[in-house]
Amino acid sequence: MKTRSMVSFDWAMKRLLRNKANFEVLEGFLSELVRRKIIIKSIGESESNKTDKKNKLNRVDILVESDDEELVLIELQFYNQDDYFQRMLYGVSKSVSEHLDKGNAYLKVRKIYSVNIVYFDLGEGDDYIYHGSTIFIGLHTNNELMLNEKQRQLYNTSKIGEIYPEYFIIKVSKFNDVAKDTLDEWIYYFKNNKIQDEFTAQGIDKARKILSYENLTPEEKIEHDALLEEHRNRESEILTSYTDGEFKGRAEGEAIGLEKGEAIGLEKGKSLGEYNKAVTTALKMSEDGITKDIISKYTGLSIKQIDEILKI
């Protein structure tokens, strides 16, 4: 089983995949994702093509227009963003409004797919691919609201959900590197920057040819490797920030514990953990009707401390 090293997908989106001659790569991935053939008419920038260096490193967005006028917003995000779900909604909402000309009927609202490739654990769930769509369910009958006959002819579909935006979330870090189908082959590439020779997904053969690291010019290799190094540095910054915060929190906790121990007359050299264990024992002994003198004898707590614990 031979595996070939490829350029990272975010670098490919920035430098190679906007070229019309290379549309076949994204067409293949999107076709595998939505389970029908996608033909790309054009690729442009999305609203979030920021100039800030960290934004460019963290997020890569492109807006795809298919030959049947549908829009696909592809967002690739590396680092955690707690409000990312709202970001998905904002991106779709902005694309809807920007692509409806003033004065046009609502019928002209474009169908939009929001494809989110994330390298952090977004939300809580045990899968690595999620699909979201809009449906209306009767509160009393529990049946799905459908389009009427006239609307079916108008929209060329019977399901309301096919009119509304659809969302895909691919959690790359949750993928276990076992490609069970052709869509998994694409996710394997997203995670590992590699493509195995036996992969047969749509567009994957074109990707082998144009996204091979070995095919880059010396200048492109320098640029590509610099991007990967930036990612490594950013990961290191995040890890350092986390460990610094953990260390600071532990130190502050110990200081608070020491202060608390002094406030309750904790003997020097006795840990707060030992004190808490003695408190638990004292409470149980008191519940059994044992006198404070006996409690003091077996816990090492003073009568004053026991009174404080029992709030006498």
Are 211 and 271 found together in one domain? Answer: no
Do residue 189 and residue 272 come from a single domain?
no
Same domain, 157 and 293: no
Instruction: Examine the fold and report which residue of 200, 215, 230 is the final residue of a domain before the chain moves on.
Output: 215
Write the CB contacts of 129 (distance below 8 Å, at least 6 apart in sequence): 168, 169, 170, 171, 183, 187
Element (H, E) at 152: helix 149-155
Q: Say if residue 102 is in the same domain as residue 197.
A: yes
Distance from C-alpha of 39 to C-alpha of 70, rounded to nearest angstrom: 10
Q: What is the pLDDT of residue 235?
A: 67
Same structural domain for residues 11 and 159? yes
Query: So what's the pLDDT on residue 237?
Result: 65
203 and 276 inside one domain = no
The answer to whether residue 302 sits within a structural domain is yes
What the block records as the tokens of 1 is: 């089983």
**283 & 145 share domain:** no
Alpha helices in 21-83 (DSSP H): 23-34, 53-58
pLDDT at 286: 82
SS (H, E, C) 196-244: ECCCCCCCHHHHHHHCEHHHCCHHHHHHHHHHHHHHHHHHHHHHHHHHH
Please state, in angstroms and rounded to a whole number, the distance separating the CA atoms of residues 100 and 107. 10
- Please report the pLDDT score of residue 37 as a whole number: 95
Residues 49 and 195 in one domain: yes
Examine the domain organization and report whether 56 and 168 are in the same domain: yes
Residue 250 counted as domain residue: no
The reply to whether 240 falls in a domain is no
Q: Where among 175, 193, 215 does a domain terminate?
A: 215
- 123 assigned to some structural domain: yes
- Which residues are registered as beta bridge partners of 72? 64, 113
Please indicate, yes or no, if residue 95 is contained in any of the structural domains. Answer: yes
Q: Does residue 243 lie within any of the structural domains? A: no
Decide: 46 and 61 in contact? Cβ < 8 Å: yes
Instruction: Calculate the CA dihedral of residues 287, 289, 295, 298 and round it to 10 degrees.
Output: -90
274 and 204 both lie in a single domain: no
At residue 146, what are phi and psi to the nearest 5 degrees?
Answer: -120, 165
Residue 27 lies inside a defined structural domain of this protein? yes
Listed residue (17, 124, 120) closest to 76, CA to CA: 120
CA separation for the pair 239, 120 (Å, rounded): 14
Q: What is the pLDDT along the chain (312 residues), one digit of tens a residue?
A: 688 889 999 889 988 899 999 999 999 999 999 999 999 999 986 544 444 444 455 567 889 999 989 999 999 998 888 899 999 999 999 999 998 887 788 888 999 999 999 998 899 999 999 999 999 999 999 999 999 999 999 999 989 999 999 999 999 999 999 999 999 999 999 999 999 999 999 999 999 999 998 888 888 888 888 877 877 777 666 667 655 555 565 555 545 444 444 445 555 445 556 777 888 888 888 877 788 888 888 888 888 888 888 875
Same domain, 154 and 280: no
Is 82 found in the same domain as 187?
A: yes
Q: Is residue 238 a part of any domain in this protein?
A: no
pLDDT at position 250: 55
User: Structural domain of residue 60, as residue ranges?
Assistant: 3-215
Phi, psi of 295 (to 5 degrees): -60, -45
Total number of domains in the chain: 2
Distance CA 87, CA 82 (A): 10
Residue for token digits 């195995």?
Answer: 196
